Amino acid sequence: MDALLEYAWVVVALPLLSAVLITAVGKQLPGKGSEIGIAALGISWLLAIGIAWETFVNSPIEPLERAVDWSPLGGGFVFELGILVDGLTAVMLLLVTTVSFMVHIYSREYMKGEPRYTYFFAMLGLFTFSMLLLVVANNLLQAVIGWELVGLCSYLLIGFYWEGKSNQDAANKAFLTTKFGDVGLIVGVIVLSAGMFGLTDTPFNIIEINEAAFAGQLSTTTIVLGMLLIFLGCISKSGQMPLHVWLPDAMAGPTPVSALIHAATMVTAGIFLLARLFPVVAQSQAVMATIAIVGVITLFFGGLLALVQDDLKKILAYSTISQLGYMVAAIGVGGYAASIFHLFTHGFFKALLFLGAGSLIHAVHSNNISDMGGMARAMPHTFWTFIVGSLALAGFPLTAGFFSKEEVLAAGDIWAGAGFFTGSLVFWVGLAASFVTTFYMARAVFLIFAGESRSHHPPHESGKLMVGPLMLLAVLSIASGYLLTPMSPEAPNFETWLATPILDEEATFPFTGDGATEASPGTVTGDGVLAGAASPAPLAAAGEDGAVSILHGVPYWNLTKLAMVLVLFFSALFLAWRFYGKGLPERDPTLQMGGFSRALVNKYGFDDAGYRYIVVPVRDKLSAAATYSSNVLIDGVVAGVGRATKHAAVATYRVVDQQVIDGGIHGAAFSAAWWSEKLKRIQSGDVQKYAGVLVAGTILLVLAFAAAR
């Protein structure tokens, strides 16, 4: 059965090949390169489906790992390039290739007539490749490479319309915000790998790290420090507060790119990595609590921001932030499978919503829902697919979003039942946020589709290439939820799919909550909406020592909680219908809530604060200070040394050389002149005087000799 899994690398390689080929020959082709991208992704997609099927029906499977020693890194350590195929990889491969394939097809029509059409498809290929490289990575260094390449591609695609300043700014913001998170990721990966130094030659290997963490071979410091830093990377990449600010701005890119970023290829990376390293995460209660709290804050406050937006894409962007909050929170409350399940279903319905939004925007030439209205008649296919997506996002029963979101809440509930405070936080805040979600999606849907058209362009339905992907995604937005429902058979289901040799049915968290031992173990599962194990067996087995099992088992119906969800859904829907059912109200009620509305419109001031207290000081003040210190202070010292040397030199020259030393030389010359002036008088030219002196001298000498005798 592994035969197909061996070829997982082909899934990764094809999009890269597509990018290279499109760059090389794309412009000469009749489809301007789009056919290469679609063909490559199509094959990738089919292969991914095959891999997903293999891993699903045979789940739980033994992970398949293949790696080559790509380069030595010194000290005997090796960087491997490799693939690790297990259920998690297969889920991600399926999601990424599906969304990317749909986006490719969709873009062929959507981007028609755009400049840089060929370049766009090449970038889509590269983007997909980067994400897949991360997804199949068998080691963290390769994951980092994929992660950063994803960041680059997002930069290039968000800034696709680089003529405009705001688009450039958005691209820079996205890259730099995520790059800031990458500091955490990179240092975190380094810290984890350092913990592996004595244990292996391949310190980045994910399976080895997971096993070491599970076997207690990594120190608590390594785990806590490493995972918190890596989580910082996830905060930025997966749009968690307060580093979510880039995500709404990233809407500057073409809409298909937004779909790709939000559904599959970028924001999911952080969640994926947490899931990939879940055995490490699970070692520390502190790490999990941090993750849960960040997730809860994001899922609630991120969702609220969508209330006041007029730009449809921004509404969806904030809803993504909120949904990502659910996924992160789920990880934080031990909902490893729930998180990925929600990621999986969310990928489909969010891609659907974005592509639907693209279809609407294409029709009315505006992003704003205030310019739409009455679109249901003109665009029937877009209408019903969008409704499906909205229902899934709002968690309407029997859609995929319903099942996956309830899994997240159930995870919170189980966690709470085990005595962890964060569990109840996730459960209740998550429930409240679902009300918000329903309300803002209903607001958008009413304003877009109900009432009279406010558009300046007569809207028209999009072509087949755009509607087709919408329909497929709409089907998936419902169908994908049935992988893990109370109706699901025991196995295979989504949980067995994600099980690994470490995270198997017996695996439990190594710590216990406050109330777990007191509470009767078997009943902690009962509080979920659809919560917990169908049979309380795994928990009961583990419950004797108070430990919580990592995989929860198949969920079951809990009618009271189901009723609560329905009441919330319909009350939000009713409220939205009251306000927006008859078209755009003159004064949008979401903007009439005083300081609360103002805070939302200002996005809680994060963007502003980030710009004012981080960007400006660093870019303008700190850099100027550094340059000043370089040019004036440090170079001042250098110049000072130079000048002092010069002064010393001048002094030496003037005093020592010119006066002392040269003075001596001059003195000798002057004294010679003075004496010669005196002595020259002897030279009278009078021969007779000379003769006289001569004689006198001779006589003196004779006398002297005589005397000497």
Partner 1 sequence: MSPIGPLVLAAFLFSAGVYGVIARRNAVLVLISVELMLNAVNINLVTFQNLLFPGDPAVTGQMFALFIIGVAAAEVGVGLAIVFNMFRNRASVDVDDADLMRW
Partner 2 sequence: MDPNTAGWALVVALFLPLVGAGALTLMPSSMDREIRRAGVAITAVGFALVVAITASFDYSRAGELQFTTDVPWITAIDARFSLGMDGISLPLFFLTSLLTLLCAIYTTKHLPSPGKPKAFLSLMLLLQTGMAGTFVAFDLILFFIFFELTLVPMFFMIGMWGGPRRDYASVKFFLYTLFGSVFMLVAFLAIYFQAGANTWSIMELSTMAPFGSTTFQTWAFLGVFLGFAIKVPVWPFHTWLPDAHTEAPTVGSVLLAGVLLKMGTYGFIRIALPILPDGAARFAPMIGVLAVIGIVYGALCCLAQTDVKRLIAFSSVGHMGFVMLGIAAMNEAGIQAALFGNIAHGIITGMLFFLAGSMHERYHTREIAVIGGGMLKKMPVYGVLFTYVAIASLGLPGLAGFWGEFAAMWAAISPGLGLADSYGGLYLGLVVFAAIGTVLTAGYFLWLIQRVNLGEPPERWADEPLADVQAIEWVSWLPLLALILALGIFPRLVFGVQDAAVTNLVGFLGG
Interface residue list for partner 1 (CB under 8 A)? 680-681, 683-688, 691-692, 695
Instruction: Determine the distance from the C-alpha atom of residue 107 to the mean position of all C-alpha atoms in its chain, rounded to a whole number.
Output: 24
Minimum distance, C-beta of residue 689 to partner 1, in the bound complex (Å): 8
Pairing of strands 64-74, 77-85: antiparallel
Q: What are phi and psi of 656, to 5 degrees?
A: -70, -50
Closest by Cα among 375, 437, 400, 463 to 576: 437
Contact 536, 557 (CB under 8 A): no
Minimum distance, C-beta of residue 549 to partner 2, in the bound complex (Å): 34
Contacts of 654 (CB under 8 A, 6+ apart): none
Contacts of 118 (CB under 8 A, 6+ apart): 22, 23, 26, 27, 32, 33, 34
Contact between 611 and partner 2 by CB under 8 A: the answer reads no
Minimum distance, C-beta of residue 690 to partner 1, in the bound complex (Å): 10
Residue among 29, 149, 540, 541 that touches partner 2 (CB under 8 A): 149
Residue among 20, 49, 73, 491 that touches partner 2 (CB under 8 A): 73
528, two tokens = 């979920």
Minimum distance, C-beta of residue 676 to partner 1, in the bound complex (Å): 9
Tell me which of partner 2, partner 1, none is bound by residue 671, counting a contact when its beta carbon lies within the kind-specific cut-off of 5 to 8 angstroms.
none
Minimum distance, C-beta of residue 372 to partner 2, in the bound complex (Å): 31
Count of C-beta atoms within a 10 Å radius of residue 540: 17
Contact between 162 and partner 2 by CB under 8 A: the answer reads yes
Contact between 180 and partner 2 by CB under 8 A: the answer reads yes
Tell me which of partner 2, partner 1, none is bound by residue 625, counting a contact when its beta carbon lies within the kind-specific cut-off of 5 to 8 angstroms.
partner 2
User: With respect to partner 2, which residue has the nearer C-beta, 166 or 520?
Assistant: 166
Q: What are phi and psi of 466, to 5 degrees?
A: -90, -40
Contact between 68 and partner 2 by CB under 8 A: the answer reads no
Residue among 3, 28, 30, 75 that touches partner 2 (CB under 8 A): 75
User: With respect to partner 2, which residue has the nearer C-beta, 68 or 708?
Assistant: 68
Site for partner 2 in 623-662 (CB under 8 A): 623-627, 630-631, 634-635, 637-638, 642
User: With respect to partner 2, which residue has the nearer C-beta, 196 or 338?
Assistant: 196
Residue among 6, 25, 71, 693 that touches partner 2 (CB under 8 A): 71
Contact 235, 329 (CB under 8 A): no
Residue among 109, 148, 249, 371 that touches partner 2 (CB under 8 A): 148
Contact between 570 and partner 2 by CB under 8 A: the answer reads no
Region of 106-114, 145-153, 258-266, 660-668 interacting with partner 2 (CB under 8 A)? 145-153
Q: What are phi and psi of 543, to 5 degrees?
A: -65, -15
Tell me which of partner 1, partner 2, none is bound by residue 622, counting a contact when its beta carbon lies within the kind-specific cut-off of 5 to 8 angstroms.
partner 2
Residue among 183, 650, 695, 704 that touches partner 2 (CB under 8 A): 183
Helix axes 336-364, 312-332, angle to 10 degrees: 180
Contact between 678 and partner 2 by CB under 8 A: the answer reads no
Coil, strand or helix at 81? strand
Please give the Cα distance from 306 to 600 (Å, whole number).
8
Contacts of 702 (CB under 8 A, 6+ apart): none
91, two tokens = 């889920």
Q: Which residues pair with 78 in a beta bridge?
A: 72
Contact between 13 and partner 2 by CB under 8 A: the answer reads no
Contact 87, 55 (CB under 8 A): yes
The residue written with tokens 């947490």 in the block is: 274
Count of C-beta atoms within a 10 Å radius of residue 328: 30
User: With respect to partner 1, which residue has the nearer C-beta, 613 or 675?
Assistant: 675
Residue among 77, 428, 511, 604 that touches partner 2 (CB under 8 A): 77
Count of C-beta atoms within a 10 Å radius of residue 579: 18
Region of 168-176, 377-385, 656-664, 696-704 interacting with partner 2 (CB under 8 A)? 168-176
Contact 288, 282 (CB under 8 A): yes
Coil, strand or helix at 588? coil
Contact 106, 465 (CB under 8 A): yes
Please give the Cα distance from 24 to 525 (Å, whole number).
57
Coil, strand or helix at 72? strand
Contacts of 115 (CB under 8 A, 6+ apart): none
622, two tokens = 């700190």
Length of the chain: 709
Contacts of 91 (CB under 8 A, 6+ apart): 52, 340, 344, 497, 498
408, two tokens = 């997240």
User: With respect to partner 2, which residue has the nearer C-beta, 239 or 373?
Assistant: 239
Closest by Cα among 329, 277, 228 to 502: 277
Minimum distance, C-beta of residue 682 to partner 1, in the bound complex (Å): 9
The residue written with tokens 């903007």 in the block is: 591
Tell me which of partner 2, partner 1, none is bound by residue 30, counting a contact when its beta carbon lies within the kind-specific cut-off of 5 to 8 angstroms.
none
User: With respect to partner 1, which residue has the nearer C-beta, 377 or 689?
Assistant: 689
Contact between 669 and partner 2 by CB under 8 A: the answer reads no
314, two tokens = 């921004």
Region of 70-78, 446-454, 553-561, 652-660 interacting with partner 2 (CB under 8 A)? 70-78
The residue written with tokens 């130094």 in the block is: 197
Peptide bond into 492 cis (omega under 30): yes
Tell me which of partner 2, partner 1, none is bound by residue 110, counting a contact when its beta carbon lies within the kind-specific cut-off of 5 to 8 angstroms.
none
Tell me which of partner 2, partner 1, none is bound by residue 684, counting a contact when its beta carbon lies within the kind-specific cut-off of 5 to 8 angstroms.
partner 1
Minimum distance, C-beta of residue 684 to partner 1, in the bound complex (Å): 5
Residue among 4, 29, 49, 176 that touches partner 2 (CB under 8 A): 176
Q: What are phi and psi of 166, to 5 degrees?
A: -65, -35
Minimum distance, C-beta of residue 603 to partner 2, in the bound complex (Å): 22
Residue among 141, 328, 448, 450 that touches partner 2 (CB under 8 A): 141
Contact between 98 and partner 2 by CB under 8 A: the answer reads no
Contact 238, 322 (CB under 8 A): no
Tell me which of partner 1, partner 2, none is bound by residue 688, counting a contact when its beta carbon lies within the kind-specific cut-off of 5 to 8 angstroms.
partner 1
Minimum distance, C-beta of residue 640 to partner 1, in the bound complex (Å): 57
Site for partner 2 in 190-209 (CB under 8 A): 190-191, 193-194, 197
User: With respect to partner 2, which residue has the nearer C-beta, 460 or 646?
Assistant: 646
423, two tokens = 């569990």
Closest by Cα among 658, 563, 569, 489 to 57: 489
Sign of CA dihedral 211, 215, 217, 222: positive
Tell me which of partner 2, partner 1, none is bound by residue 70, counting a contact when its beta carbon lies within the kind-specific cut-off of 5 to 8 angstroms.
partner 2
Minimum distance, C-beta of residue 701 to partner 1, in the bound complex (Å): 15
Residue among 131, 135, 186, 206 that touches partner 2 (CB under 8 A): 186
User: With respect to partner 1, which residue has the nearer C-beta, 617 or 692?
Assistant: 692
Tell me which of partner 2, partner 1, none is bound by residue 502, counting a contact when its beta carbon lies within the kind-specific cut-off of 5 to 8 angstroms.
none
Q: For partner 2, how many residues bind (rule: CB under 8 A)?
A: 53
Contact between 182 and partner 2 by CB under 8 A: the answer reads yes
Residues that bind partner 2 (CB under 8 A): 70-77, 79, 141, 144-145, 148-149, 152, 155, 159, 162-165, 168-169, 171-172, 175-176, 179-180, 182-183, 186-187, 190-191, 193-194, 197, 618-619, 622-627, 630-631, 634-635, 637-638, 642
